[in-house]
Each structure stands twice: as C-alpha cells, then as structure tokens.
Amino acid sequence: MTRELAKMIDHSILHPTLTDADLERECRVAAKYDVASVCVKPYMVKKATELLKGTDVLVGCVIGFPAGNSTIEVKVFETETACNDGAVEIDMVINIGKALSGEWDYIEKEIEAVTRACHKNGAIVKVIFETDYITRDEDKIRLCEICTRAGADYVKTSSGFGFVKSEDGKYSYTGATIPDLELMRKHSGPRVKVKAAGGVRTLDQLIAVREAGCSRSGATATAAIIEEAIKRFGNQ
C-alpha cells in the first residue's frame, strides 16, 4: 500500500523562491521515497534529470506556469525544450482568460498543440484547469471533454498558485476538492487520468483523492505523507 501511494505522488519543486540547492535536497527526498515524479520549473529540468539518473523517479516540467498566459506557440516551444532537456511529463496551464470567455476553440487548439508536442517527444501531458478560477461545473465538464478529444493523458485541478483576492485584499487558495475530482473523473474519457493538485498535505487526504478517482497527486509534504504511510501500512 505504501509503495502504491508513493507512486501516486508528483513531488512538487515549484515555489519561485526555491534555489538549485533546494532542488538537490528535494530530489533526494523524491528518490528516498521512490515517488512517481518530480515536477520542476523549466530551467531545473536538466539538473533534475542528472540528479535522478539511475532512479525510478521521472522528471516532469510545468508549461505556461502558473497563469497560463503564454501564446500557443510559446507553450509548444517550452514543451519541446523541456522534453529535449529530459522531461517525460508535462503539466500545462490552460489559457484561463480564454476559458472564462468561453473561447473553447482556442482552448482546444492549444491543448491539441501541446499534447501533440508531448507525444511526439515521448512525454505525457497533464492539463491544469485552475479550478479556483474556473469555478462553474459546466466549464470544467467542457474542459474534460476537450482534453478527451485532444488525447491528453491527464486532467489536473490546479497549479498550486491560483490565489483568489477577497474583498479585504487578502489572497486565499483552495486547490483540489473531492467534488471537483469526482466530476473530472466522471466526465473524462476512460484513457484520461485525473491528477489532484493543491491542498493534499496528509496521508488521509492522499487516500481520499485516490478514492475519488485520482491516479496522481501533487505534493510538497511528501516526506510526512509517506512516513505516516509507513507507520500505518508498513514499507510495502
């Protein structure tokens, strides 16, 4: 059970303040707990690939991150560069403004373009909806349908940085919720997997998203989650 849970985790190394020294430390954490992958910033891909050589931990990279505002051509270029640097998983943020405007043809075009670039380079693609901004169920369903048609490998809730400004000027963030994950699982094709991202910080939360239909989950609290799993389930 512990190994299965570890292989759900994409260990996130994405905060803007993280340095190369932090990358080395976090790659050691990822290797120690034998997670599915690390998810890193574009310039870190080469170094992460070197650090994780000889392990079973894959290297993933974010594209158009975190706001999704790059042009389609730039997202494709970023994708190809990341793949050339060693990434085998790509987490792309959709153009959030276009989705909120209902410009679904544009959204489908960009998801198709990045998916095509990933598959051409032997990588998989996870499409980030940013559910703190895309809040209407009908829009999330439409995105699941588009991802299914485009051949995307995963639909994913959040970037981890979709902060919403409240009336008092403070910013808050929710990330993955069980209702969103269940909705995304229900409305995505059978070949499309679901990734939870944002707010999964405990073993019980990881188990909950698994039960909601997720195959992967982003996490920064990887060590705490897996150490708790070892206590509860043992090392296997």
Task: For residue 180, indicate whether it is catalytic.
Answer: no
The yes-or-no verdict on residue 236 having pLDDT over 90 is no
Q: Which of 10, 91, 132, 153 is catalytic?
A: 91
Confidence of residue 173 (pLDDT cuts 50, 70, 90): confident
Nearest to 57 by CA among 15, 98, 13, 107: 13
The yes-or-no verdict on residue 183 having pLDDT over 90 is yes
Task: For residue 105, indicate whether it is catalytic.
Answer: no
Confidence of residue 146 (pLDDT cuts 50, 70, 90): very high
80 Cβ contact partners less than 8 Å away, ≥ 6 residues apart: 117, 121
Q: Which run of H or of E encompasses 113?
A: helix 104-120
51: number of Cβ within 10 Å: 20
Q: Which run of H or of E encompasses 178?
A: helix 178-187
- CA-CA distance, 22 to 168, in Å (whole number)? 34
Residue 195 pairs in a beta bridge with: 156, 216
Confidence of residue 73 (pLDDT cuts 50, 70, 90): very high
- CA-CA distance, 57 to 41, in Å (whole number)? 16
The whole-number pLDDT of residue 51 equals 98
The yes-or-no verdict on residue 72 having pLDDT over 90 is yes
The whole-number pLDDT of residue 103 equals 98
Quote the pTM value: 0.97
Q: What is the rounded average pLDDT of the residues 67-88?
A: 98
The lowest-confidence range among 38-52, 79-93, 161-175, 200-214 is: 161-175
Phi-psi region of 79 (alpha: psi -120 to 50; beta: other; left: phi over 0): alpha
Q: What is the SS3 assignment for 85?
A: helix
91 is in which domain, residue-wise?
2-233
Q: What is the rounded average pLDDT of the residues 153-178?
A: 94
Q: Which of 140, 156, 180, 193 is catalytic?
A: 156
- CA-CA distance, 59 to 36, in Å (whole number)? 9
Task: For residue 195, indicate whether it is catalytic.
Answer: yes
Q: Do 129 and 141 meet the contact criterion of CB atoms below 8 Å apart?
A: no
User: If you ran DSSP here, which 8-state letter would residue 70 be given?
Assistant: S
Total structural domains in the chain?
1
**Amino acid of residue 229:** A
Q: Do 59 and 124 meet the contact criterion of CB atoms below 8 Å apart?
A: no
CATH (domain of 106): 3.20.20.70
